[in-house]
């Protein structure tokens, strides 16, 4: 998109890349081919699905409105984390350049989707705590709607923080719907994590309450708790503006899972290709924690990338274009040829 993308080749640390498959194996081709857009307006639309009686809000962006008979485009589904809604993937920050991952990937030929999970954003409210298992059920309904709307049978997932846990847990139970997985700011067992150690001090509260306070200072802390300067404070103010319209309460379920119930994603059960993305300064998981997960993944098509100058929030980082670059490269990998 800009000249700064050329920095990725020099600065990104590629921890591993496995492309080997058994001699008798045949890797399926991806569901559709990415065709970078040559201009055109970004089209968007809202959708609703349901989980029981709970309405769930979904949002879609791509270049141009869908047309009958046109070639299918690869679908990428962005899964939000514990303390924010899907706005984190579609933020408009005047004067600061592009911050919408959905815009970025739409311009590169993807059909981009996201959703607000139960008890978040525009989606319905319930008495539950919206834990990882609840998020999996949200994704079930969302993906089936996407299949009907696009004709695609498989979907790429990009999840950040507990959104990566949601995507991973979904991949374990619905492998037939998963193409490629990008786990950003992921945690496996959480061992040695300063963020989770601090968060665990409130474990009794998370067990006893289904909602927690989420004010502007909490939103600001997403960008400052690990390494101030890795995200623009002005961007976090725009994020806070977008988030506070939905109130100052947010579910505790994913916090409870991340402090008391890890691991919730078991690598042996994740069959799809996986890209693990860690910010250099991210306190949610150590390199050793992620390496253990990476080494247990059964699919040889996997990568582990560490992004320099980046902390927990890779989506809204100053170096967000590094994240866009490695993610786009992974999602457009040609299928390996068995030898």
Residue 36: its pLDDT value, please?
57
Q: Residue for token digits 């994603």?
A: 265
Average pLDDT across each block of 10 residues of the chain; the chain has 339 residues. List them in order.
34 34 31 60 98 97 96 97 98 97 98 98 98 98 98 98 98 98 98 97 98 96 94 97 97 98 98 98 98 98 98 97 98 85
Residue 33: its pLDDT value, please?
59
Residue 191: its pLDDT value, please?
97
Give the helix/strand (H/E) hosting 242. helix 233-244
Phi then psi for 176, rounded to 5 degrees?
Answer: -70, -15
Domains of the chain: 3-19+35-331 (3.40.50.1820)
Residue 223: its pLDDT value, please?
87
Q: What pTM did the predictor assign?
A: 0.89
Provide CB contacts within 8 A for 289, sequence distance 6+.
187, 188, 189, 190, 191, 192, 193
Inter-residue contact 339 to 194 (CB < 8 Å): no
243: exposed, middle or buried (Cβ count in 10 Å: 0-12, 13-18, 19+): buried
Sequence length of the chain is: 339
- Rounded Cα gap, residues 42 and 39, in angstroms: 9
Residue 6: its pLDDT value, please?
32
**Half-sphere exposure at residue 99, Cβ-oriented, CA atoms within 13 angstroms:** 21
From the CB of residue 339, how many other CB atoms can be counted at a distance below 10 Å? 7
Residue 335: its pLDDT value, please?
84
């Amino acid at each position: 998109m800009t000249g700064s993308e050329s920095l990725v080749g020099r600065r990104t640390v590629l921890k591993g890349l496995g492309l080997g498959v058994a001699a008798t194996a045949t890797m399926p081709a991806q569901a559709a081919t990415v065709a970078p857009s040559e201009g055109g307006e970004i089209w968007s639309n809202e959708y609703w699905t349901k989980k029981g009686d709970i309405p769930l809000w979904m949002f879609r962006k791509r270049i141009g409105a869908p047309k009958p008979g046109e070639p299918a485009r690869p679908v990428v589904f962005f899964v939000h984390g514990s303390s924010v809604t899907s706005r984190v993937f579609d933020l408009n920050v005047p004067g600061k350049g592009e911050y919408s991952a959905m815009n970025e990937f739409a311009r590169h030929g993807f059909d981009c989707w996201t959703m607000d999970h139960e008890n978040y954003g525009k989606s319905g409210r319930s008495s539950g705590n919206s834990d990882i298992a609840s998020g999996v059920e949200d994704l079930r309904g969302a993906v089936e709607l996407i299949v009907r709307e696009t004709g695609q049978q498989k979907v790429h997932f990009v999840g950040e923080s507990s959104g990566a846990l949601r995507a991973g847990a979904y991949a374990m139970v619905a492998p037939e719907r998963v193409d490629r997985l990008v786990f950003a700011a992921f945690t496996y067992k959480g061992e040695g994590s300063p963020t989770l150690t601090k968060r665990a001090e409130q474990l009794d509260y998370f067990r006893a309450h289904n909602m927690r306070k989420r004010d502007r200072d909490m939103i600001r802390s997403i960008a400052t708790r690990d390494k101030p300067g890795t995200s623009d404070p002005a961007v976090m103010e725009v994020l806070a503006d977008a988030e506070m319209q939905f109130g100052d309460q947010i579910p505790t379920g994913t916090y409870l899972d991340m402090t008391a119930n890890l691991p919730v994603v078991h690598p042996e059960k994740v069959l799809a290709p996986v890209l693990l993305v860690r910010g250099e300064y991210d306190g949610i998981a150590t390199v050793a924690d992620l390496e253990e997960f990476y080494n247990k993944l059964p699919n040889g098509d996997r990568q582990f990338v560490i992004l320099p100058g980046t902390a927990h929030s890779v989506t809204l980082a100053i170096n967000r274009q590094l994240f866009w670059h490695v993610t786009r490269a992974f999602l457009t990998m040609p299928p390996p040829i068995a030898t």
